[in-house]
Structure 1
């Protein structure tokens, strides 16, 4: 191939205008290119916004959650970087101060939809950041300091420390990933384009959360291509539409993050005006491994 045609710019780091590409594409490109070697990094904020271009006014394409593995491909002017989320290979542009090169180990994982990082181990202390299910925080102590019923984890945060209530790291009754009871705790979460947290989700961000870390690619069309199709859905199967995806609760009811209601809702295929539109646009169903 002489140029970059045929490569998916969502997951292949190639900039034909600047003739810059990641080193993994060396055998797929011809001519003179500058090749980039990715460097390991980890998200250092509760939610690191990846944008379509190095400009705050461009659309958010995805988010990296605190402690998630990333790759930095290139440092850019004005404090931006070209980066990738490693669990799904998705590319975007993030502020350079939003990630760290220090791995979050040993770490605790947030097991509830939403939580906060506090400046001190008390609920009246100032909040430093918002965290959400799946965030991983490097701990500075072997166990939570006992202050009340659950205690507090002392965690590294930027160049200092923060405190996470230990209740946020306990698996709730009913479990988490692929538990319908847990999934329904995300009902009414606001719809946010590119969102991947309980502070704001888009449709494929919700299905990624449901599938678990590293199971699904980022966008609805990528997810449909990755799954085995099924004719009749069961609870937990994904339903696909043009540019949209949801999680079936049974053969007709679907939980999904949608811009029609601007939140996570349950809708029934073929029922109501909106449900009828969904049924008419249905592309098929897919089953998770």
Structure 2
């Protein structure tokens, strides 16, 4: 075991943060490699095997390419990490868990900054400097340091060195907290772009979201960082009366509690006209837009929260 406190970066399109190294099943081997393919891993699982990741508490969250983590220790090829961009009550510095070391690279000093880019499409190709494609397809919301911009290309710094991304696929900001900011209603509208995307427990990428991964990432796409988990999100923003649905607005978050424990177990966006858009693990196992009253979630509604510039959480 090697003890350390250093900054590393995710070096694959999506790296899963596991509860422990012992959480891995035989069928998960393709999810811990480098290179890795989320499509191949998801395709190898039945719906029940995907849901088992939740039931067995195997997965905590995910990282996407270039996302920084603090590595606390390395043990038998696994790194104990804290995902510093994912706010959580589990650790004051970010979301904790375990990631295979081969899916990480030690971060190098960024040097003089020209700002950052964020991938603003569902997925996009990462290119070599000679404009030939790399093997990496970047998921939505990937953030990387910017080197320079031309009419067609943006040169970025990646865990693998300087690379290119088509300018049309990204938006630019001066820092991760200084992209253009949009209201919560826009976050709900962005979620529509991912209808039918498979539900994936712990999912934080455009290969598959879980319920709070969807809300977190749609707010991230609108320039705001909220907490990672639904239970934490339910303590942020402004409380809106749950018995006055005529006061709800598009972009409000709807929280649902387990009937036996009272603990928050699900979150979705209110979309207006009595509708909710959410990533559901029930039946369909995908992101869907539904009339709330027609779902089994309706009777579990426990809180409505509004996230706007006055909420103190964005």
The TM-score normalised by the length of structure 1 is 0.73
* Higher relative contact order, structure no. (Cα contacts within 8 Å, ≥ 6 residues apart): 2
Match of 2:96 among 91, 95, 109: 91
Provide the C-alpha distance between the structure 2 equivalents of 1:198 and 1:121, rounded to a whole number of angstroms. Answer: 27
Distance change in 2, residues 1:157/1:68 (3 Å): closer
List aligned pairs for 1:1-289, cutoff 5 A.
38-55=5-22, 56-57=24-25, 59-77=58-76, 79-87=77-85, 88=87, 89-97=94-102, 98-102=104-108, 105-106=113-114, 107-119=116-128, 122=131, 125-139=132-146, 141-144=147-150, 151-170=152-171, 178=184, 179=186, 180-212=188-220, 215-231=225-241, 232=244, 233-242=248-257, 243-250=265-272, 252-260=274-282, 261-271=284-294, 275=295, 277-288=296-307, 289=311
How far did residue 64 of structure 1 move? 1.5
Report how many aligned residue pairs link the two structures. Answer: 240
Is the CA contact (8 Å cut-off) linking 2:81 and 2:96 kept in structure 1? yes
The TM-score normalised by the length of structure 2 is 0.67
SS at match of 2:226: coil
Provide the C-alpha distance between the structure 2 equivalents of 1:135 and 1:284, rounded to a whole number of angstroms. Answer: 31
Contiguous gaps of at least 5 residues in structure 1: 1-35
Is the CA contact (8 Å cut-off) linking 2:181 and 2:224 kept in structure 1? no
Contiguous gaps of at least 5 residues in structure 2: 26-52, 88-93, 173-179, 258-264
Moved more, 38-47 or 250-259: 38-47
How far did residue 207 of structure 1 move? 0.8
SS at match of 2:193: helix
Provide the C-alpha distance between the structure 2 equivalents of 1:253 and 1:161, rounded to a whole number of angstroms. Answer: 44
Q: How well do the aligned residues superpose, as a CA RMSD in angstroms? A: 2.8
Provide the C-alpha distance between the structure 2 equivalents of 1:94 and 1:177, rounded to a whole number of angstroms. Answer: 34
Provide the C-alpha distance between the structure 2 equivalents of 1:121 and 1:188, rounded to a whole number of angstroms. Answer: 36
Larger Rg: 1
- Residue by residue over 1:115-156, the C-alpha shift from the partner in whole angstroms, topping out at 9 and shown as x without a partner, is 12234665xx454222123212234x5223x5xxxx233434
